[in-house]
């Protein structure tokens, strides 16, 4: 993970919320595809900090989700 980036570094980012998100739980995140990775932010606080991941890190995370690594 590259860490938290200043918001102005992502001024042109196009953010997407999951189609299954709703406003009931208030626990949604949004992602933006960047030329060198993925950015993630809290949908309730779009001006707050953003996390940046390389493409490799993001793929590893998605693989873990698909394999149930993060199931509670």
Percentage of residues of the chain with pLDDT beyond 70: 81
User: Residue 19 corresponds to which tokens in the numbers above?
Assistant: 């189609």
- pLDDT in the model for residue 26: 67
Q: Are 58 and 47 in contact (CB under 8 A)?
A: no
- pLDDT in the model for residue 23: 64
Q: How far apart are CA 27 and CA 49, in angstroms?
A: 16
Give pLDDT tens digits for 33-66. Answer: 998 899 999 988 888 899 999 999 999 999 999 9
Give pLDDT tens digits for 10-24. Answer: 888 999 987 777 666
pTM of the predicted structure, to 2 decimals: 0.74
Q: For residue 58, what is the DSSP state?
A: H
């Amino acid at each position: 993970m590259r860490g938290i980036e200043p918001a102005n570094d992502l001024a042109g980012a196009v953010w997407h919320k999951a189609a299954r998100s709703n406003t009931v739980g208030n626990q949604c995140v949004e992602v933006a595809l960047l030329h060198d990775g993925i950015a993630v932010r809290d949908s309730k606080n779009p001006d707050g900090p953003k996390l940046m991941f390389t493409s490799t890190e993001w793929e590893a995370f998605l693989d873990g989700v698909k394999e149930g690594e993060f199931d509670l």
